[in-house]
Amino acid sequence: MPQNHVPCDNKTDMASLSSQPYKGTRDYYPEQKRVQNYIFNTWRTVVERFGYEEYGAPILEPLEIYAAKSGQELVNDQTYVFTDRGDRTVAIRPEMTPTISRMVAARRQELAYPARLYSIANFMRYERPQRGREREFWQLNVDLFGVEEIAADIEIIAIADTILREFGATNDDYVIRINNRKFIHFMMAQYLGLDIVAAGQMTKLFDRRGKITEQDFEDQVRLILGDNADEQIPQIKQIIDAKTIDQLPEQLQTSTSIDEIKAVFTGLEKQGVTSAIFDATLMRGLDYYTGTVFEAFDTHPDNNRSLFGGGRYDGLVGLFGAEPLSAVGMAPGNTMIENFLSVHNLLPVDRSLTDIYIVVVGSVLNGALDIAAQLRKAGINTEVDITERKLDKQIKTALKKKIPYILFVGESEVEKGEYTLKELASETEEKMIVQQIITKFSN
């Protein structure tokens, strides 16, 4: 008997099967898939405009590539892990950054740099399902390898801004918050005087600050700081209250990383990105970030949350035995972007990808199929009703599928070679021969 085979009694077990998807995942029926494809196509259009090329990767990876740098919460609590039949511990990918770093390390000497790479793929994390967060999710992964200069950071953030604008968003719809992990380390170690353990705890706490109450935040700060809490809490409040670099305490402005942050803002301004602001509390929880970090936030009151983010991670490629290589990347998710488009009324009008629905009146199916073949050859998406149902039921199907045009084909139409084409939105009709229909759609 094959391994893991569980026999079932079809009479009892099949009757009790649920029609619902696995918790935290979604079924994409055609209308949802059209929205998803619209998002995917927009992503692809923008990143290819910047010179990025698409790659693919396995959905399974050895667990250790995530354990090395992604962070213990992701590995221990959120990753789907199992032992395969070869007794190997593998994970369903919870993110793409370790995978693309592995791929770049494997071709370290062969790739042309700067290497601009992207993928659109699905991932799984064992998280509590909630609005905008699912256990299976799709995201765009954009990464730029081989550029140490701050220009790479600027380019990735500019792509993020361009993507949102390509969807029709304006400056009022979102904000891009920017910080730097070098600055964060300086802030924790030099300004607050924390050891490596307390600094790590405080960084994680800052990362969760928007998800807990102010009182809970202060209580946890006190737990981390211990006896020094009363002295240092005012310092932390100064950091939280600073809305610009100039509002930071003077001691923090002595960090050399501040120059990097300023350079990013200068570069973005030159590229016309006006939606970026400084946020000293932005942490980005993953452990592999080494420099610039950023997140795009929705400003709509019904969806006021982080949309996606990214940053610089210069250390990952070197973990795979290759010479270290600079890298910057980001990863917008499908569901968060869909929610963003929904609350801002930016979703496209839903319509079928089929252009024409041929309604067959009488025993002329062969004639209808011949017409459909001519239309398809001309690039017109055409569906033929082959059911021999009554006229009203055929029309009802076209309406339900949101197909914009109906072509009526009956015996007299086939004899004359002239057919009635009806546009459902305007309810207008035209008598046309096949070539006229082709010309109409080609125009």
Q: Determine what percent of the chain is predicted with pLDDT higher than 70.
A: 95
Using an 8 Å Cβ cutoff, are 431 and 439 in contact? no
- Give pLDDT tens digits for 26-55: 999 999 999 999 999 999 999 999 999 999
Task: With a cut of 50, say whether residue 326 has pLDDT above it.
Answer: yes
Residue 90: strand pairing partners:
62, 82
Predicted pLDDT at 73:
66
Position 325 pLDDT exceeds 80? yes
Q: What is the 3-state secondary structure (H, E, C) of the chain?
A: CCCCCCCCCHHHHHHHCCCCCCCCCCCCCHHHHHHHHHHHHHHHHHHHHCCCEECCCCCEEECHHHHCCCCHHHHHHHCCEEECCCCCEEEECCCCHHHHHHHHHHCCCCCCCCEEEEEEEEEECCCCCECCECCEEEEEEEEEECCCCCHHHHHHHHHHHHHHHHCCCCHHHEEEEEEEHHHHHHHHHHHCCCCHHHHHHHHHHHHCHHHCCHHHHHHHHHHHHHHHHHHHHHHHHHHHHCCCHHHCCCCHHHCCHHHHHHHHHHHHHHCCCCCEEECCCCCCCCCCCCCEEEEEEECCCCCCCEEEEEEECCCCHHHHCCCCCCEEEECCEHHHHHHHHHHCCCCCCCCCCCCEEEEEECCCHHHHHHHHHHHHHCCCCEEECCCCCCHHHHHHHHHHCCCCEEEEEEHHHHHHCCEEEEECCCCEEEEECHHHHHHHHHC
CB 327 within 8 A of CB 317: yes
pLDDT tens-digit readout, 339-381: 999 999 999 999 999 999 999 999 999 999 999 999 999 999 9
According to the model, what pLDDT value does residue 374 have?
97
- The answer to whether 331 touches 311, Cβ cutoff 8 Å, is no
Task: Report pLDDT for 245.
Answer: 93
Q: Which of 13-27, 120-134, 143-157 has the highest mean pLDDT?
A: 143-157
Both tokens assigned to 434: 């096949």
Q: Which residue has the tokens 């007794």?
A: 87
The least confident of 102-106, 112-116, 227-231, 387-391 is 227-231
* Mean pLDDT confidence for 89-95: 94
User: Which of the residue ranges 57-61, 72-76, 128-132, 335-339 would you say has the lowest mean pLDDT?
Assistant: 72-76
Q: How far apart are CA 373 and CA 438, in angstroms?
A: 12
Q: Is the pLDDT of residue 437 over 50?
A: yes
CB 334 within 8 A of CB 132: no
Average pLDDT over every residue of 209-233:
91
- pLDDT tier at 2 (50, 70, 90 boundaries)? very low
| Per-residue pLDDT band at 132 (split at 50, 70, 90) | confident
- Cis upstream peptide for 62 (omega within 30°): no
CA–CA distance, 357 with 351 (Å, rounded to integer): 13
The answer to whether the beta carbons of residues 294 and 161 sit under 8 Å apart is no
**Per-residue pLDDT at 5 exceeds 60:** no
**Looking at residue 138, what is its pLDDT?**
97
Average pLDDT over residues 128-157: 95
Contact of 332 with 308, CB cutoff 8 Å: yes
Give the bridge partners for 123, in sequence order.
137
Q: Please report which confidence band the pLDDT of residue 1 belongs to, taking 50, 70 and 90 as the band edges.
A: very low
Domains of the chain: 30-343 (3.30.930.10), 356-442 (3.40.50.800)
Poorest-confidence range of 5-14, 73-82, 141-150, 253-262?
5-14
Packed helices 214-225 and 229-241: angle between N→C axes, nearest 10 degrees: 130
Share of the chain above pLDDT 90, in %: 83
**Residue 285 pLDDT more than 90?**
no
* Count of residues making up the chain: 443
What distance in Å separates the CA atoms of residue 253 and residue 246, rounded to the nearest whole number?
Answer: 8
- Please answer whether residues 291 and 180 qualify as being in contact, where contact means their C-beta atoms are separated by less than 8 angstroms: yes
pLDDT at 179: 96
Check if the beta carbon of residue 138 is closer than 8 Å to that of residue 122.
Answer: yes
Tell me the pLDDT band of 10, cut-offs 50, 70 and 90. Answer: low
Round the average pLDDT of the chain to a whole number and report it.
Answer: 92
326 token code pair: 């600079």
* Two tokens, residue 25: 């995942």
CA atoms 245, 249, 252, 253: torsion sign? positive
CB 335 within 8 A of CB 398: no
Q: 313 near 68, Cβ under 8 Å?
A: no
Q: Which residues contact 271 (CB under 8 A, 6 or more apart)?
A: 154, 158
Instruction: Answer whether residue 9 shows pLDDT above 60.
Output: no
**CA triple 18-351-354, angle to 5 deg:** 95
